[in-house]
Amino acid sequence: MSANANVPNDDLTRSAPRGPRSRTMGVTAAVALAVVLLVVGLGAGYVLGDYVLGNKGSNSTTSGNGPSYTISESGSSLIYPLMLSLGPNFTKLYPNVVISPQSTGSGTGISLAESGKVDIGGTDAYLSPANATQYGLINVPIAISAQLIFYNIPGYSGHLNLNGTVLAKIYSGAITNWNDPEIAAANPGVNLPNLAIVPLHRQDGSGDTFMFTSLCYMSYSGWPYGYGTSVTWLKSSPSATGNAGMVTTLSTTKGGIAYIGISYLSEATAAGLSYAAVGDQAAISDGTNPANYILPTPQTISQDATLGLANLQPPSVAVSLILGGVPGATDLKLGGGGTLPSTADPTPYPIVNLEYTLIKISPSDATLQKWVVAFLEWALSFGNSATYMTPVHFLPLTPAVIGYDMQALQAVTVSS
Amino acid sequence: MDQPVLRGEGSVGAAGHADPVAAPTPASIAPARRTPWWAWALSPIALLPLIFIVLIALVLLFSGDLKLLFEPGFWSFNFYFNPLAPSQAVWAFPLYLVGTALTAGIALALATALSLALAISTTVYLPAWLGRSLGTLTNLLAGIPSVVYGIWGYVVLAPYFGLTLQPALRSYLGWIPFFGGPLSETASGTGVLLASLILTIMVVPLTTAIIRDSLVSVPHPLLEASFALGATRWETTRRVRLRVARSGVRGAVFLGFGRAIGESVAVAMVIGGQTQIPPSIYSGTSTVSAFLLYQQDSAFIYPALLHALVEFAVVLLLITLVFNYLAQRASGERGAVGPTSAAGI
């Protein structure tokens, strides 16, 4: 070896007093420690893996009162708090069933549900019908959520009127200043400053990005980036991580605009941010009529969900409830389509989505799946109330969606 | 305990072997011993990391096809990904590489200067007890998880940077290139400057520990000789200590750079995440590892994105391996003490 030249060889060296004996002991101790850690690590990994990846026989263990079950859920960080509050209440009724949720992200939730590594996958964006068929999964919506458009314009704290076309132009660089005539036309009487618009986007892949880009894609034929959970953005568009990061960054960005989930309404309002009234389907063609701009409220969001699903043939929930949805389609179509406000639902807020759970239609463990279905049916009936939904800023599902869900759950293979 | 088996490292236990060049070979000093059974049994465990690295490389190679690497779009400077038209995607790897090299480069420049100062003062100038305690302290700092630095940077430093420090820097140092460019519109403080500083703080303990080790292990007779010739403490440090230990310093820089380019969490939290070549040190950009971190969830939905991520990861792995190899080689030169022997790392 090459280290000879530097070997400590006189009394001046600090390490000289440490003899070879202690060195050998050190090595032995290190090896012993490594072995112990390895054994402990492998053991812990095995137990954890078994617990997390579950349902291969080990999560139906027999205790004194009969078998008990652990239902694993993984996915969307928005659904996670809902699962945390639903799970223990279900366990109170059925002590032999435990719901074990994880916040991993919608993409991970879809992937784990597809490979059958979790019993329930949670996602903000629906699983496309083609993929659902391929992997034998069904989309089961469990809540309604919405997205708000916040901005930071010094000296202005009202609700601006903005529609999908204007938002798409801002995020594609066609509108760059708050005093743009197109914004002014929709906001008569508002004196907007000569201030550059700074469009913020999400750095991480996100269901919110999916919704917002869907709106842009459907509202403006010049939108160049398509729609999805991760897309290209303008180089001049700064980013933030998570809804919380969007709130923080927007609060220091003069002239900034950002799309933020309704779950963060109270945080954003506390940070001094205001949100827009968003133009519905009619505002795309008639952007100057203030009556076409709708503020997000529980009523307007529910109206959008009702309208969006009313005319779908065949009935489906795999749809974005953007602009009131696209009749007859299970995917988005360029330029919108959408459902115009009806007399029963005159003011639909246009950026709404369903929060989905994904479950296998022919599971490997039909006994466990009986409890998965029971849990979802309970969540859709007793759990579908303001008691559970309001604390996590969701809205209860509309009767149409519940009807669809219950029908879809009938098709799942369970053993009695 | 057994008598120590003296292996080829030539470590000399008992005092009195005066001539290090003619260090006794193991055979001459200790009788050949049988290797104990447990040493054989444990040796595969020592090979596990190597096996894992080879497996990771193979999996990455075969799952990603690596065909993107040979397409011009991968090497473009304009990122474009439309989930509706994945075949038109342009991945702009060099754009992210610029962000990585820039943040890691600034961090290493600062960290090297700081580490040299720290290592010299703790080994040469400060009293031994204080120097040793400070050395232990830097080693401890090396063990802090990077996410802690990231959160601290994002929550504590970023608002101060955005609202106070960056405008001040710009008005006083604006005549220096890249210091005079545009401030970030978000005033959030995230960007090249903050990311580089966070990386510096992360890397300093590592580089200091290695440099300290190589300074300490400079043979004392050389130092004594220098003093005997009338050199001052500073002259001895500069002309003897640092000269003998320079391969260790070089190794520390390479190893620190390797760590800085691979760091994802701490950097991703404060980098700003814009896909652009930063026009100033206040601007947001992105790095290869930040891109990997933040796009992995979407990658499960879009196969094209997953392919790109895998190939980003392969290239990042190769670059890291190159720098670790350079670190090894630098420390191997002239038989100096190198990074691999650094305490606690």
Number of Cβ pairs < 8 A linking chain A and chain B: 179
CA distances from A412 to A77, A140, A314 (A): 26, 11, 19
pTM for the predicted model, two decimal places? 0.80
Is A38's CB within 8 Å of B45's CB? yes
| One-letter amino acid of A36 | V
Does A413 contact B at CB distance below 8 Å? no
Q: How far apart are the first and last CA of chain B?
A: 27
Which CB contacts under 8 angstroms, 24+ apart, belong to B166-173? B166/B193, B166/B282, B169/B193, B169/B282, B170/B282
Which of B8, B219, B295 lies at the smallest CB-CB distance from A230? Answer: B295
Q: How many CB atoms lie within 10 A of CB A180?
A: 16
Does A92 contact B at CB distance below 8 Å? no
Q: What is the pLDDT of residue A18?
A: 43
What tokens does A157 get?
């704290």
Which of B273, B299, B300 lies at the smallest CB-CB distance from A239? Answer: B273
β-strand A161-162 against A274-275: which pairing, if any? unpaired
β-strand A277-279 against A274-275: which pairing, if any? unpaired
ipTM: 0.78
Q: What is the pLDDT of residue A9?
A: 42
- Return the sign of the alpha-carbon dihedral for residues B122, B235, B242, B216: negative
- Per domain, the residue ranges of chain B are 95-332
Q: What is the pLDDT of residue A30?
A: 66
Task: Kindly report the backbone phi and psi dihedral angles of residue A313, in degrees, each rounded to the nearest multiple of 5, phi listed first.
Answer: -130, 120
Is A5's CB within 8 Å of B162's CB? no
Is B300's CB within 8 Å of A38's CB? no
Q: What is the pLDDT of residue A25?
A: 61
Rounded Cα–Cα distance for residues A359 and A119 (Å): 6
Closest by CA to A395, choosing from A78, A73, A110, A164, is A78
Give the pLDDT means over successive 10-residue stretches in chain A (416 positions).
Answer: 42 42 61 67 58 47 68 91 93 94 89 93 87 92 94 94 92 95 92 94 90 86 88 90 91 94 90 92 77 90 81 68 52 44 81 92 90 95 92 88 90 82
Rounded Cα–Cα distance for residues A275 and A268 (Å): 9
The CATH class of B95-332 is mainly alpha
Q: How many CB atoms lie within 10 A of CB B327?
A: 24
Rounded Cα–Cα distance for residues B170 and B175 (Å): 8
Which of A11, A107, A226 lies at the smallest CB-CB distance from B297? Answer: A107
Provide the b/e sequence for A352-385 (b: ≥16 CB within 10 Å).
bbbbbbbbbbebebeebbbbbbbbbbbbbeebbe
pLDDT < 70: residue spans in chain B? 1-32, 63-65, 332-345
Closest by CA to A297, choosing from A349, A232, A245, A243, is A349
Phi-psi region at B74: left, alpha or beta (left = phi > 0; alpha = psi -120 to 50): alpha
Rounded Cα–Cα distance for residues A359 and A127 (Å): 11
Rounded Cα–Cα distance for residues A378 and B271 (Å): 44
**CB neighbour list of residue A114: distance below 8 Å, 6 or more residues apart:** A121, A131, A135, A137
Domains and CATH numbers, chain A: 27-143+355-409 (3.40.190.10)
Does B163 contact A at CB distance below 8 Å? yes
Hunting for tokens 């759990």 — which residue is that?
Answer: A383
Does A29 contact B at CB distance below 8 Å? no
Residues in B touching A7 (Cβ below 8 Å): 10-12, 20, 23
Nearest CA-CA distance, residue A115 and chain B, Å? 12
Q: What is the pLDDT of residue A24?
A: 62
Closest by CA to B251, choosing from B330, B186, B188, is B330
Rounded Cα–Cα distance for residues B299 and B83 (Å): 11
To 10 degrees, the CA torsion angle through B213, B217, B222, B226? 30
Q: What is the pLDDT of residue A48?
A: 56
Contact A328, A311 (CB under 8 A): yes
Is B336's CB within 8 Å of A6's CB? yes
Please write down the HEC assignment for all residues of A344-389: CCCCCCCEEEEEEEEEECCCCCHHHHHHHHHHHHHHHHCCCCHHHH
Rounded Cα–Cα distance for residues A376 and A10 (Å): 75
List, as ranges, residues 34-53 from A with C-beta within 8 Å of B: 34-35, 38
- Return the sign of the alpha-carbon dihedral for residues B317, B318, B319, B325: positive
Rounded Cα–Cα distance for residues B223 and B233 (Å): 9
Angle subtended by helix axes A20-53 and B37-64, to nearest 10? 50
Is A226's CB within 8 Å of B83's CB? yes
CB-based burial label for B250 (10 Å; 0-12, 13-18, 19+):
buried
Does B76 contact A at CB distance below 8 Å? no
